[in-house]
Amino acid sequence: MANLVSFPSGQVDYLYGSPVGELWQLYDGKDIVLITDTNLFALYPGLFANRRHVVLPAGENSKSLETINWVVESLIQLEATRSTTLIGIGGGVVTDITGFAASVYMRGIPFGFVPTTLLGMVDAAIGGKNGVNVGLHKNMAGTFNQPAFILYDTGFLGTLPKQEWANGFAETIKYACIFDAALFSELQQHDIAYYRQNAPALNAIIEKCATWKNITVINDEHEKGLRKLLNFGHTAGHAIETLYAIPHGEAVAIGMAIAARLSEDVTSLSPSATLQITKLLEQYNLPTTYPIETTKAMELMKMDKKRTNSSIGYILLDAIGKASVHTLPFGQLEKAMRLCAQ
């Protein structure tokens, strides 16, 4: 069912609960090129047979400017034109590359996303940010540009590895922490196994998270204020992810635990709220501590996009379901990080 959402930079059609086959009807006779990664290509060969496609090596290493260059060269070879629509079928890596490559190929061609990970469905595919990593700097180069559509086919999640489910729930728990106490209580009552077996419940939480992200982005597409709240757990999280090459969701989970501890000091978040957050993360197979080398992590954060020389913009919780932006001295952050560095 079509569901147009208007962002300042363009309209996105959210096709919730739509089997991927609907795409072939929508684009029947039209000029499309598909982008995917090696894992999805192996799992769903029928999707790509007889359709022009580009296959990226699976994994975060593909999120680079070199990949963009290679995709552009592939598009030239496939004779893609300004009227070609580029469709990314995959996780966050694939959708980021698709959005970036489509934004620069011939100065911009239309594109759409079919996220196939829970993380992609609730977070990465949404919001019009398409970035790649440069060296150790995450998402340091990229574009702001909205896809024409995002198609949600939760059938893809049937093949999603267990760890990837946990990664998706890290972002889901993030939305619950910053915006939605009711979602937090719902998540407390269930676990990954429940949502894997209960498609209507899964679809409902996906749509809820996507809606939260949409509301946030509509009000602040270029991350001047409200959108910053979505970085909850991500400042320390990105540093941990970069230093130890652990999955994004796990790193964000540890980052959220650190932010909760920090909130106790700064916003007087109750220790029982921190306990509920760490318990919920563990319930969804996510870590809340890590043997972080805090000095190294602090050095990395000092290079973060959100910092000044002595302080850093940080998202904290006032309560479960309510977040706020703070400027903190680095020392205070390091102290909270040590509490989670086990």
The alpha-carbon radius of gyration of the chain (Å, integer) is: 20
Q: Compute the least distance from the CB of residue 116 to ligand ADP, in Å.
A: 4
Spot the catalytic one: 238, 241, 261, 285: 238
Cα separation, 138 vs 126, whole angstroms: 17
Active-site residue, from 39, 53, 63, 129: 129
Nearer to ligand ADP, 138 or 227 (CB): 138
Cβ closest to ligand ADP, residue 239 vs residue 251: 251
> 3-state DSSP call for residue 115?
strand
Q: Which is nearer to ligand ADP, 156 or 314 (CB)?
A: 156
Task: Output the six-digit token pair for 170.
Answer: 């890290």
Write out the E strands in 67-136: 85-90, 111-115, 129-134
Question: Could you confirm whether 53 is annotated as catalytic?
Answer: no
Q: Is 171 a catalytic residue?
A: yes
CB 203 within 8 A of CB 17: yes
Q: Active-site residue 63, yes or no?
A: no
CA 75 to CA 301: how far, in whole Å?
37
User: What is the token pair recorded at 291?
Assistant: 């043997």
For ligand ADP, the binding residues (CB under 6 A) are 37, 39-40, 43, 58-60, 90-94, 116-117, 119-120, 124, 156, 159-161, 164, 167, 248
Nearer to ligand ADP, 89 or 258 (CB): 89
- Smallest gap from residue 157 Cβ to ligand ADP (A): 6
Nearest approach, Cβ of residue 22 and ligand ADP (Å)? 17
Q: Considering 138, 174, 213, 261, which one is annotated as catalytic? A: 213
Q: Which of 248, 261, 285, 306 is catalytic?
A: 248
- Closest CB to ligand ADP among residues 92, 110: 92
Q: Which of 174, 208, 234, 306 is catalytic?
A: 234
How would you label 267-306 residue by residue, b for 16+ Cβ within 10 Å and e otherwise?
Answer: eebeeebbebbbebbebbbbbbebebebeebbebbeebeb
> Could you tell me the smallest distance in angstroms from the CB atom of residue 193 to ligand ADP?
17
* CA torsion through residues 150, 200, 187, 226, sign: positive
Closest separation between CB of residue 125 and ligand ADP, Å?
A: 8
Smallest gap from Cβ 182 to ligand ADP, in A, equals: 25
Active site residue 129: yes
Q: Is 238 a catalytic residue?
A: yes
Residue whose C-beta lies closest to ligand ADP:
91
Query: Per DSSP, what are the bridge partners of residue 311?
Result: 329
CA distance linking residue 150 with residue 158, whole number of Å: 19
Q: Say whether 234 is catalytic.
A: yes
Q: Which is closer to ligand ADP, CB of 212 or CB of 314?
A: 212
Our answer to whether residue 107 is catalytic in this structure is yes
Q: Is 30 a catalytic residue?
A: no
Strands (E), the chain: 4-7, 10-15, 32-37, 53-56, 85-90, 111-115, 129-134, 137-144, 149-151, 311-319, 322-329
Residue whose tokens read 């029982």: 272
Q: Which residues are catalytic?
A: 107, 129, 171, 213, 223, 227, 231, 234, 238, 248
